[in-house]
Amino acid sequence: MRKRSLLFLCSAALFIMVAGMNIACAADGIALNVSADKTIATIGTKIKYRVELVYNDPIVVVSDISLTHLSEFTIKDIDDSARHPEGEGKHIITRDFVVVPYSVGELVIHPVSIQYKRSAEAEAVETLISESIVIAVGSVIKEEADDIHAIKDIVDPKKTLLRYISYAGWGAVVLIIGFALFLLIRTIIRRLTADKDLLLTPYERTMKKLFELRQSRLIAEGRISEFTDKISDIVRWYLGVAFTFETMDLTTSELNARCAEVGVEIEVHNRLITFLQDCDLVKFARHMPDTAQLDQLFTEAKELAERINTITKDAHVQSG
């Protein structure tokens, strides 16, 4: 315990003047920034960590921001923003994380790598790698003082027994009260979480559901059909909300005809039907896509949601 505390104190001395850390790695026309709001923490402390990719046209990003570099931490939350411009020809992709350390020592947020091409026509793929961030993590347990207590007189067994019974009674009361508080807090948290989801826009709820599905263990456990069913339902739901018509109980063929009737934009219409047919292959034809195909299916679902959001926002602005 003393060695661990000494290690944490040494680490704290090195980082005591740093409230947070921002590290940038850049190449011509593209920059990869990583930052953490603290570099000194104790076990269980939430750390806000951000990856930000800034690039200019005509650079094309061909990889996603992975999660493997956070292997020494537990990921509690991910907030993915859509691509958005910041001035002419400039694009920003951000991914915010809330991570928690559960071991003592110097834990490392490993480098992030991004692959990109200089243009859509370029064949060469280049890689941009960020720096790592070291988080000094200490224990919240205080060491006991090395003191020697005076030896007590002979103890009366009856008084000792009564005292222990009293302690046990109070302990039981505390446990009951604690359990009741736990149930109350859990109920409040669930209600607050539900209310928070209700405050999200349909597009934000869709993106949240997509990334929660991506983080699930369905693919790792081989439940591919269940994964494709859920990702298909998420896209169907958002399409129905955006264009105000029922989508969940229609077959792919029926949905194809209905999209034409309500005037769904042709690009979304064509990409949607291709996406749903790929999902149907898994459900009805027992097709087993590999990891790359599942990643592409997720990317297509995300881009469909982004395109639908853009179209509906533009339509709202024009009607206003």
Q: Which amino acid is at 297?
A: L
Neighbouring-strand partners of residue 129: 113
Q: Give the DSSP letter string of 1-29.
A: -HHHHHHHHHHHHHHTT-S-EEEEEEETT
- How many alpha carbons fall within 13 Å on the CB side of residue 176? 6
C-beta atoms surrounding 13 within 10 Å: 10
- Residue 28 is predicted with a pLDDT of 80
pLDDT tens digits, one per residue of 280-297:
998 888 888 998 999 999
Tell me phi and psi for residue 160, to 5 degrees: -65, -45
- Residue 313 is predicted with a pLDDT of 82
Q: Mean pLDDT in the chain?
A: 82
Higher local confidence (pLDDT), 70 or 190: 70
Point out the least confidently predicted range of 11-20, 24-33, 53-62: 11-20
Contact predicate 268/301, CB 8 Å:
no
pLDDT above 90 covers what percent of the chain?
Answer: 43
- Residue 161 is predicted with a pLDDT of 79
Asked whether residue 235 carries a pLDDT value surpassing 90, the answer given is yes
- Chain mean position to CA 293: 22
Residue with tokens 């998420």: 234
SS (H, E, C) 236-286: HHHHHHHHCCCCCCCCHHHHHHHHHHHCCCHHHHHHHHHHHHHHHHHHHCC
Asked whether residue 62 carries a pLDDT value surpassing 90, the answer given is no
Pairwise CA distance, residues 316 & 320, whole Å = 6
- Residue 285 is predicted with a pLDDT of 80
Contact predicate 18/39, CB 8 Å:
yes
Higher local confidence (pLDDT), 195 or 265: 265
For residues 26-31, average pLDDT: 82
pLDDT band for position 213 (50/70/90)? very high
- Residue 122 is predicted with a pLDDT of 85
- Residue 319 is predicted with a pLDDT of 56
Pairwise CA distance, residues 151 & 6, whole Å = 32
Contact predicate 233/248, CB 8 Å:
yes
For residues 42-51, average pLDDT: 91
Pairwise CA distance, residues 195 & 201, whole Å = 12
Residue with tokens 């949607």: 272
Pairwise CA distance, residues 306 & 82, whole Å = 8
For residues 266-287, average pLDDT: 91
What CA–CA distances, in Å, run from 37 to 20, 26, 109? 4, 21, 13
Point out the least confidently predicted range of 113-122, 151-160, 169-178, 277-286: 151-160
What CA–CA distances, in Å, run from 48 to 35, 38, 215, 286? 8, 8, 19, 42
Neighbouring-strand partners of residue 80: 95
pLDDT band for position 148 (50/70/90)? very low
C-beta atoms surrounding 275 within 10 Å: 19
CATH of 2-138, one of 2.60.40, 2.40.128, 1.20.120, 1.10.10: 2.60.40
Tell me phi and psi for residue 265, to 5 degrees: -50, 140
- Residue 84 is predicted with a pLDDT of 60
Pairwise CA distance, residues 185 & 179, whole Å = 10
Asked whether residue 165 carries a pLDDT value surpassing 90, the answer given is no
